[in-house]
Each structure stands twice: as C-alpha cells, then as structure tokens.
C-alpha cells in the first residue's frame, strides 16, 4: 500500500506540473494577444511541460501522466490492471488542481480579457485555454473526424513512447528519455494540432474541463460542439491501445525472434 501511495503521489505531481505549464502557456498567448507568444510557443510550452512532468515522476512510475499511456501499458507491457484506475484518478486530480493554479494566477488577466463573463466560444471565449475544442477557423465539423484526429495523434504518441522505452531498441539513456518524449509532443503539436488542439491525453483534457465547469463556464463546456467533450477522452484511449499494439507487432514482439531461422 505504501508503494502504491508513493506511485500515485508521483503521478499526481507529475501531471500537475505538466498541465500547469501547458495550460499557462495557452493563457499567456491568449491574454497577451499574440504579443507574449504564438502557436509555436504553445507547442514548445506543452513539449517542455511534458519533459518537466516526466522528470518529476519518471524515477517513481516511469511517468505515465496520461490515462492512454497507462491503459496501453496494461494492455501490452504488463502493467498491473489493479493500478489502472488509481493511476487515472491521480492523473485527473493533478490536472484539475493544475487548472485551479493557473486560474488563480491569471484571474486578473482573465477578467480583463472577458470582462468577468466566462464564455466557451466567441472572441472572448476562454474555455479553450483549459480544455480542447474543434478549431473554429478550421474544417473539422463532425465528431467522427475528431475521433480520427485523436486516435491518430495518440497512436503516434504511445507508439513512439513504447520505442523510447524499449531497452532492446535504441534505448536512450535515462536523462534523455524525458527530452525525447517532450520533443515528440512538440512534433505532434506542430503536425496534428490544427483540427482540435492535440489533447492526446484524457486527463489533460477532462480534468481542466471539469474545473471550468465548476469555475464559471458551466455545463456548456460539455455540451458545446455537439457534446464534443468525450472525443478527447475516448479517442486517446483507443489510439493509445492501437499505437502500443502497432509498435509491439512490428518491433517489440519481433525481438524474441531475432537469430531464429527464417
């Protein structure tokens, strides 16, 4: 029990660090009217946020920090199924508390920006600082398209994480792993962020969304865009399992066959 408590504390704190930095960079760009950063800043900020979160929790749990990663590890890498729900709960809690920290820190700037009226969409819409929504200026207008986006993005995330963590592959040194994962998130943001903001992490999206629902934005955070909220939850879970399966099928499970006659 003590060991599990230690692991959950690490997942909570690592996710808190990740989401605090990630949400804060979006807040800074939004409130600064593109004068305190731009879309590239958001990509770099989220990537570095993941790196710091992995440094915080990596030595204890390997730093899942993402229910999609936890589920994929349980499916394909022998992670204990009994720990899946506790890990997910810790990740969600960390993301929720992180959202509150950013809200308190940027409260004055938020009120100046929206006049104290919390809006989900529109020119003064701010819910997207915390959770992800379809790009209003883009072409994604349906839930199936959003699911494809999240499945593909998370499959790439988890598949490459499996490669980074595979000691029978290149196996980067421990200190380089967090940097590699952070770079991977930057890359996904720069290539698959257009449609709906590359959540690729149910905790990173649902925790902040729950916070905004309670902090003044109301139930619209769940009903907006045809009840969009479940897409960045279900899509990453499916994508994570598929990404892990693809890596293990093509690379991971082939290691045991090396040296065998063809």
Per domain, the residue ranges of the chain are 2-255
- DSSP letter for 139, please: S
* Mean of per-residue pLDDT scores for the chain: 94
The pLDDT of residue 258: 45
Quickly state the pLDDT bin for 170 (edges 50, 70, 90): confident
The CATH number assigned to the domain with range 2-255 reads 1.20.1080.10
The pLDDT of residue 160: 98
Confidence check: pLDDT of 193 > 80: yes
Confidence check: pLDDT of 233 > 50: yes
Quickly state the pLDDT bin for 256 (edges 50, 70, 90): low
57 and 63 Cβ atoms separated by less than 8 Å: yes
How distant, in Å, are the alpha carbons of 59, 169, 235, 236, 257 from that of 172?
15, 9, 29, 25, 22
Confidence check: pLDDT of 262 > 70: no
The pLDDT of residue 146: 94
Which tops the pLDDT comparison, 37 or 94? 94
Percent of the chain with pLDDT over 90: 86
Residue 174's CB: how many other CB atoms inside 10 A?
9
Residues 93, 148: Cα–Cα separation, whole Å = 27
Report helix angle 202-212 to 220-227, nearest 10.
120
Quickly state the pLDDT bin for 99 (edges 50, 70, 90): very high
Confidence check: pLDDT of 241 > 50: yes
Confidence check: pLDDT of 139 > 90: no
Confidence check: pLDDT of 112 > 70: yes
pLDDT digits (tens, 9 = 90+) for 74-94: 999 999 999 999 999 999 999
Residues 212, 77: Cα–Cα separation, whole Å = 35
State residue 16 phi and psi, 5-degree precision: -60, -45
What's the predicted TM-score (pTM) here? Answer: 0.94
Confidence check: pLDDT of 259 > 70: no
CA 73-57-48 angle, to 5 degrees, is: 95
């Amino acid at each position: 029990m003590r060991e599990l408590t230690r692991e959950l504390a690490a997942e909570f704190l690592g996710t808190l660090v990740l989401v605090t930095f990630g949400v804060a960079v979006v807040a800074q760009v939004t409130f600064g009217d593109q004068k305190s950063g731009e879309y590239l800043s958001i990509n770099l900020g989220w990537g570095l946020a993941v790196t710091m979160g992995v440094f915080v929790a990596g030595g204890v749990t390997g730093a899942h920090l993402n229910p999609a990663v936890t589920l994929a590890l349980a499916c394909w890498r022998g992670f204990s199924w009994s720990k899946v729900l506790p890990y997910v709960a810790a990740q969600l809690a960390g993301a929720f508390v992180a959202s509150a920290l950013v809200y308190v820190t940027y409260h004055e700037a938020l009120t100046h920006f929206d006049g104290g009226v919390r809006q989900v969409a529109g020119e003064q819409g701010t819910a997207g600082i915390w959770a992800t929504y379809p790009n209003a200026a883009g072409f994604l207008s349906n839930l199936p398209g959003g699911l494809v986006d999240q499945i593909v993005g998370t499959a790439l995330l988890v598949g490459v994480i499996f490669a980074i963590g595979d000691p029978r592959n290149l196996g980067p040194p421990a200190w380089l792993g967090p940097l590699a994962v952070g770079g991977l998130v930057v890359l996904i943001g720069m290539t698959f962020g257009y449609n709906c903001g590359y959540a690729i992490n149910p905790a990173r999206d649902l925790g902040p969304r729950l916070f905004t629902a309670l902090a003044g934005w109301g139930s619209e955070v769940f009903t907006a865009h045809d009840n969009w909220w479940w897409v960045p939850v279900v899509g990453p879970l499916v994508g994570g399992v598929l990404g892990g399966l693809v890596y293990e099928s093509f690379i991971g499970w082939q290691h045991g066959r090396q040296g065998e006659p063809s």
